[in-house]
Structure 1
Amino acid sequence: MQKSKAGSGSARSDAVRVIKKYPNRRLYDTDTSTYITLTDVKTLVMDNEPFVVRDAKTNDDLTRSILLQIILEEETAGVPIFTEQVLANIIRFYGHAMQDFMGSYLEKNVQIFMDLQSRMTAQAPGATPEAWKQFMNAQSPVMEGMMGTYLEQSRSAFNQLQEQMQKNSEQMLAALGLKR
């Protein structure tokens, strides 16, 4: 599924692909004027194609819901990323005072890990998935160095999270007339 860049007839200035979800659960790609599947949406994600999924009737944004469906399919179909313990711990953060901070922390860590993956891929552009698997299992000094960098960036993200929490606490106490 390729997006036509030139002559698509689209006058949108935001360049975000719009996918409409109909009540019959079908997804309609307005760029290609075709019905698509969750697999096609996953391809858009993998290709870093900006898109939004909208309810065809109400125009509500359903993008998160569709992304969660893709994650659910991936988690149940193959080798899952999340253990039951991780999923249970994530659920425990919903409604907790730390929910916003946890979301931010996870987002920063995933981005740091994606940046690490991009750097590794750029250093070996022709490597096959099997070669990457062997490299990752080799525990080479290069890999240990990269993981050390990742862990340091993760620690930095956590420290930023702590500092933000401290600042928020101080602001809240000041607003209540209490000083630390």
Structure 2
Amino acid sequence: MQKSKAEADGAPKADGGAVRVIKKYPNRRLYDTDSSSYITLAEVKTLVMSNERFVVRDAKSNDDLTRSILLQIILEEETAGVPIFTEQVLANIIRFYGHSMQDFMGSYLEKNVQMFMDLQHKMSEQTDGLNPDVWKQFTNAKSPLMQGMMGTYMEQSRTAFTQMQEQMQKNSEQMLSAMGIKR
């Protein structure tokens, strides 16, 4: 069996295969080494939506540009239609940069988004094959099933926040102890 160019580049995948490698050239074009063709941001978004593992590398320096490409996709989505983030949410996120809570905020957001994705997946499984009228009733915020699922999500979110607070307290106590200050 012949190796793809991405496999030849040696980017390991968690399942033993190779992570798809996309190279970004100075002319801002993206080259998919798997398909040996140039692709658009919309096609990168399709890879994200299909849970395809990939990395975007600068063609010259080999720097990892994956985060900046993902942020570009988010920016396009936010400006193209109905945004997810309000101005207030974006401003609050910006305020965490450089703040001592930055690391905690990142992990808190990551856990919450993952819990929400898990909730969405669970809902999708439970409603597979429902007709539009039943789906509308199911997603009604006042339905007992939806309230139960959202209650579970909120409890998980509260637990994640509590864990974050406990970690912060532990870190503060360690820092104070290292400085010879006891609480």
Fold conserved (TM > 0.5)? Answer: yes
Q: Please name the residue that 1:29 is paired with.
A: 32
Q: Which moved more, 1:146-155 or 1:121-130?
A: 121-130
State whether structure 2 residue 64 is matched by structure 1 residue 74. Answer: no
Q: Please name the residue that 1:3 is paired with.
A: none
Structure with greater contact order relative to length (CA < 8 Å, sep ≥ 6): 1
Match of 1:126 among 124, 129, 147: 129
Q: CA deviation at 1:77?
A: 0.2
Asked if the contact 2:140–2:146 (Cα under 8 Å) also holds between the matched residues in 1, the reply is no
Aligned sequence identity (%): 78
Q: Structure 1: which 5+ residue stretches go unaligned? A: 1-5
Q: Please name the residue that 2:157 is paired with.
A: 154
Aligned length: 175
Give the CA RMSD over aligned residues.
Answer: 2.0
Match of 1:97 among 97, 100, 108: 100
Q: Which moved more, 1:13-22 or 1:26-35?
A: 13-22
Match of 1:61 among 50, 59, 64: 64
Asked if the contact 2:29–2:39 (Cα under 8 Å) also holds between the matched residues in 1, the reply is yes
Query: Counterparts of 2:55 and 2:120 in 1: how far apart (Å)?
Result: 25
Asked if the contact 1:8–1:31 (Cα under 8 Å) also holds between the matched residues in 2, the reply is no
Three-state SS of the structure 2 residue aligned to 1:19 is strand
Q: Structure 2: which 5+ residue stretches go unaligned? A: none
Three-state SS of the structure 1 residue aligned to 2:57 is strand
Q: Which runs of 4+ in 1 moved over 4 A?
A: 127-134
Asked if the contact 2:108–2:161 (Cα under 8 Å) also holds between the matched residues in 1, the reply is yes
Q: CA deviation at 1:136?
A: 2.3
Query: Counterparts of 1:54 and 1:178 in 2: how far apart (Å)?
Result: 46
Structure 2 length as normaliser, TM-score?
Answer: 0.89
